[in-house]
Structure 1
Amino acid sequence: MTDAAIAFGPVLFVVLAVLTLFGAAVVHFGRLGQGRAVVLAAVRAVAQLAAVSLVITAILRSGWLTGLFVLVMFSIAALTSARRIGVAVRAHWVALALGAGVVPVLGLVLAAGVVPWKPIAVVPIAGIVIGGAMSANSQASRRALDELKARNGEYEAALALGFLPRPAALEICRPSAGQALIPALDQTRTVGLVTLPGAYVGVLLGGAGPLQAGVTQVLVLIGLLAAESVSVLVAVQLVASGRISRSGPAPRWTWRKRPSPGQTS
């Protein structure tokens, strides 16, 4: 273990417990939500990382197991995003939006050879890209659906002006959904000035030099931007076409048809 590695021991667990309880207390007493959610998220993180740590060595010895592990990560990301949006019964459409962003990015960096075809390299890069696309997809879809619900009158007005249902929905929800890219844009703009993200720090802790760490982080950030941009674009299109919609009756923009010429509405 290098001198820069995080110290593992009882003190670490005490610090983690204090931070978890502090975050939960802030959320609870600040009326930002349920403090229990913070505790559960922290417990899940510890349990899941402990489980992964136990099996990751075996997984990284096999290319097939590595591919299966990445597929499992992607599936969990799609289901998590679907639950966050509220469309668990249509998780395959969420998976489509995620895949549209993740697959081209991972395919390019692997095919070009900038990321070696080694499990130890593929797993972390895939996890970062999938995780970023998942968050962006969840935020974009939620924003788009909320906007369509809140501004349904404007949607109806657009139809009255001659817009078809999908273009009318896009005019309403696309700008707000695009705000899901703000975190990735801000992180990329300020990297090295405000933050030193995980990939950079991780490569440094692994013993590589600052230049190699910087190259790795730039690749991750730009890859994330590309993956999230495509995922958000596809998600918005799927929301506007009614493929992604919350549980319950289908939104009006998914079934409403404009009357044909000469037909009364």
Structure 2
Amino acid sequence: MSQGTVSIGPAFGVVLALLVVIAVAAAMVGRLGVSRAVVTASVRAILQLGVVSLLITAVLRSWWATAGFIVLMVLVAAATSARRVSVLRLGWPVIVPIAAGVAPAGAVIVLGGTMPHTEVALLPIAGILIGGAMTATSLSGRRALDELHLRRGEYEAALALGFLPRDAALEVSRPTAGQALVPAMDQTRTVGLVTLPGAFVGVLLGGGSALQAGATQLLVLIALLAAEAIAAAVTLELVARGVIRRPSWEARSSSSGVGVVRMGLFNRFSGRRG
């Protein structure tokens, strides 16, 4: 076993199994309701990474194969995020914010010449950006739709005061949608002090210097912030316009509830309009 690499053998399988058991036990003790999901996610990760590890060498031999693999990653990310935000039938437009976040950040990296223009360098960067945009889309979409559901009365109050549906939805959902960026911002703030993320460690294991590892990680973190900020903003806009919605949001209530508005909500929205 070379220095810094993982030893693959019976002990590796035992360690993985023990870690899954620990995660499931913690979820059960805390009654988090995700014990089965933890096992499913772990098994899927093992199978998927096993297949990818076998295919990745062939994929990286061709730009066309690499591009096709990136498209596949975007599609899988969109399907995953759609199910987190809504259902696949109604949530599929999440592919727009994911792509909108990845494209400009990736283009700046490529056109800026900061990374080698090789398949083995660009594919991991694309995967990191797609994963970050997927997470931001899922979190911002869920929070925005939750707010619209929980604060339905305020939404109706805004409509009663003359707000357009988009503007009323933004008034209700915008304050919490930005929380989707908290994980990325915390990771960026604490990098080097709390965590040494994968890009940094990967460059070191690949024989690069600590300076090169730090520069690579900095590039990845700032690019992630850009991609996730765009994804969250676009997601919020699509939710406000009703493009991304949930089944319960389709059947909008009739005007019977619009005229009955609490005075506090009326004062709040009327004050903003003034």
TM-score of the aligned structures, taking structure 1 as reference length: 0.92
Q: What do you get for the CA RMSD once the two structures are aligned?
A: 1.6
Cα distance in 1 between the residues matched to 2:247 and 2:83: 10
Which residue does 1:72 correspond to in 2? 72
Which residue does 1:184 correspond to in 2? 184
Which residue does 1:144 correspond to in 2? 144
- How many residues are aligned here? 255
Unaligned runs of 5+ in 2: 259-274
- 3-state SS of 2:245 partner: coil
Report 1:86-125 matches (<5 A): 86-125=86-125
Give 1:91 deviation, angstroms: 4.4
Contact residue 129 and residue 223 of structure 1 kept, 8 A = yes
Report 1:163-178 matches (<5 A): 163-178=163-178
Cα deviations across residues 13-62 of structure 1 (Å, max 9, x unaligned)? Answer: 11110010110111123110131111111111011000000010011111
* 1:249 to 1:162, Cα distance in 2 relative to 1, 3 A: closer
Which residue does 1:50 correspond to in 2? 50
Which residue does 1:216 correspond to in 2? 216
Cα distance in 1 between the residues matched to 2:224 and 2:249: 34
Cα deviations across residues 125-146 of structure 1 (Å, max 9, x unaligned)? Answer: 0000000110110010000000
- 3-state SS of 2:8 partner: coil
* Residue 133 in structure 1 maps to residue 133 in structure 2: yes
Give 1:162 deviation, angstroms: 2.4
Give 1:251 deviation, angstroms: 5.5
The ranges of structure 1 where at least 4 consecutive aligned residues each deviate by more than 6 angstroms after the TM superposition are none
Contact residue 85 and residue 142 of structure 1 kept, 8 A = yes
Which residue does 1:261 correspond to in 2? none
Cα distance in 2 between the residues matched to 1:117 and 1:62: 13
Cα distance in 2 between the residues matched to 1:27 and 1:250: 34
* 1:90 to 1:111, Cα distance in 2 relative to 1, 3 A: farther
Which residue does 2:8 correspond to in 1? 8
Cα distance in 2 between the residues matched to 1:229 and 1:252: 30
Cα distance in 2 between the residues matched to 1:24 and 1:55: 30
Cα distance in 1 between the residues matched to 2:191 and 2:29: 33
- 3-state SS of 1:33 partner: coil
TM-score of the aligned structures, taking structure 2 as reference length: 0.89
Cα distance in 2 between the residues matched to 1:90 and 1:212: 43
Contact residue 245 and residue 251 of structure 1 kept, 8 A = no
